[in-house]
Structure 1
Amino acid sequence: MATVFLTTANPFLPSPLSLSASSSSSLLTPPTLCCPHKHNAKRQLALCKAVSESTPLSPNFTKRSLSISFITSFTFFLAGKGCSDVSAAILEADEDDELMEKVKRDRKKRLEKQGVISSSNKETEYLQDLVYKLSKIGLAIDNNDLSTAGLVLGGSTDTDWVKNANKAFNKLSSSPEEKTQVDTFNSSLAKLVSSVTRNDVESSKLAFVLAASSFEKWTTLTGLFGQLKGL
């Protein structure tokens, strides 16, 4: 209680040094302190002392004050640098949770995809045949033998092996990225057939690279890369 009182006391109370100087001066000489009240300075000090002696600090109040002081200090600590550290830790924990959830979702998708592939023996055979066909076409084009490449291609994209490959593509493609690679493969294959028909070696090589590259990316996305021989 005394602490509260002292903190709210008049800020213009004279100091003991000033009181000593004032008492030794003449009564006609006005005080040198600027005090807004007309009470005698000694009387004010006496009142403060009386109040202080009449209301001693109790042990319970002291403990409670210390607790409040500790809580207040801790609050200010959190409001400063500590609070930013705590917020950063919370955000980091949230990011870790989101990352773990993403890992779980990706793992679930991979397991589901592997289950689909394992039950798609016919589609796997179609894709294996596609690998063999592309190998023969690529070897022929590399040797500038477009006539052999044309025989394997069949002169169009309406051949059975191309149709069967697209059946496998449609069944095993689930993500937008996978479907995009399928579209790229089919468009590149159409350009390859056209270039070989025109006997354009350079265009044939370029179209073949695009078709083979998109197919390889598709097998990587679907998890088939490594399961097909020749890749």
Structure 2
Amino acid sequence: MAAAFLSTANPFFPSSLSPSTSSSCSSSSLGTALVHLNNQNVQRRITLCKASNESLLPPPVLTKRGFTLCFITSLVLAAGNGCSNGIAAILEADDDVELLEKVKQDRKKRLERQGVISSSSKEKGYLQDLVYKLSQIGQAIDNNDLSAASSVLGGSTDKEWLKNANVAFNKLSSSPEEKTQIETFNSSLASLISSVTKNDVESSKVAFVESAAAFEKWTTLTGLTGQLKGL
């Protein structure tokens, strides 16, 4: 492309010009060139001054976070996947610290719960009585003897043994899940009393299983399973 351009361009001094004219034109071109060079020198000095002034500007303030990001970025650019693995290892180490802290907190809560249970002998007595009552009711329903089950239940949720059981529930429950199981137990037991009163064997069996399952799950959540006989 450059060769084609040069071959078709007009010469600086066409043959139609006389030598004197050429000399005059040459002088004029030289003057123009000098002006052009002078302008270039001025532009160069301006550029040098600008560069010098920029070099005197204070360096940007680098925060700790910015330094960390720059450091990680430089490592990524320098080491590629190897650095990525290293960063992942750092993040995993942070996760391990958080996990260890969670384990410590869980252990602390468990010890506190054990302390509460150990000091709640009266409440454990209420729960042990509940286990015996449920065992009697279950045997009676299994034998289709709803009259015997009714004699234990008493026909209402206002029985003393059930009130005492709820006292123990409320004292020894702390998590939402445990409280949910208490609600399920009381609701199922109310259905059981209603079904027994109506002499509905099948509904009584279903309600008994639901109430017993809720109570058993609650004892597991609270850590009382091994401390109550008959479970």
TM-score by length of 2: 0.66
Whether 1:185 and 2:185 are equivalent positions in the alignment is yes
Q: Is the 8 A contact 2:128 2:229 kept in 1?
A: yes
Partner of 1:17: none
Aligned in 2, Cα 1:74/1:138: closer, same or farther, shift over 3 Å?
closer
Q: Provide the C-alpha distance between the structure 1 equivalents of 2:87 and 2:158, rounded to a whole number of angstroms.
A: 61
Q: Deviations over 1:116-146 (max 9, x none)?
A: 0111110000000000000010111111111
The letter for the 2-side match of 1:207 is: A
Partner of 2:169: 169
The runs of 5 or more residues in structure 2 that have no matched partner are 1-73
Deviation, structure 1 residue 75: 6.4
1:50-129 matched pairs, under 5 angstroms: 76-78=77-79, 80-129=80-129
Q: Provide the C-alpha distance between the structure 1 equivalents of 2:197 and 2:127, rounded to a whole number of angstroms.
A: 24
Q: Provide the C-alpha distance between the structure 1 equivalents of 2:160 and 2:214, rounded to a whole number of angstroms.
A: 20
The letter for the 2-side match of 1:211 is: S
The runs of 5 or more residues in structure 1 that have no matched partner are 1-72
Q: Deviations over 1:65-123 (max 9, x none)?
A: xxxxxxxx976333x10221012101211221111111111111110001001111100
* Further displaced range: 144-153 or 97-106: 97-106
Between structures 1 and 2, the one with greater helix share: 2
Equivalent pairs, count: 158
Q: Provide the C-alpha distance between the structure 1 equivalents of 2:82 and 2:221, rounded to a whole number of angstroms.
A: 45
Partner of 2:159: 159
The letter for the 1-side match of 2:122 is: K
Aligned in 2, Cα 1:83/1:149: closer, same or farther, shift over 3 Å?
same
Q: Provide the C-alpha distance between the structure 2 equivalents of 1:171 and 1:75, rounded to a whole number of angstroms.
A: 55
Q: Is the 8 A contact 2:76 2:84 kept in 1?
A: no
Q: Deviations over 1:46-80 (max 9, x none)?
A: xxxxxxxxxxxxxxxxxxxxxxxxxxx976333x1
Aligned in 2, Cα 1:183/1:76: closer, same or farther, shift over 3 Å?
same
Q: Provide the C-alpha distance between the structure 2 equivalents of 1:91 and 1:153, rounded to a whole number of angstroms.
A: 58
TM-score by length of 1: 0.66
Q: Provide the C-alpha distance between the structure 1 equivalents of 2:75 and 2:187, rounded to a whole number of angstroms.
A: 67
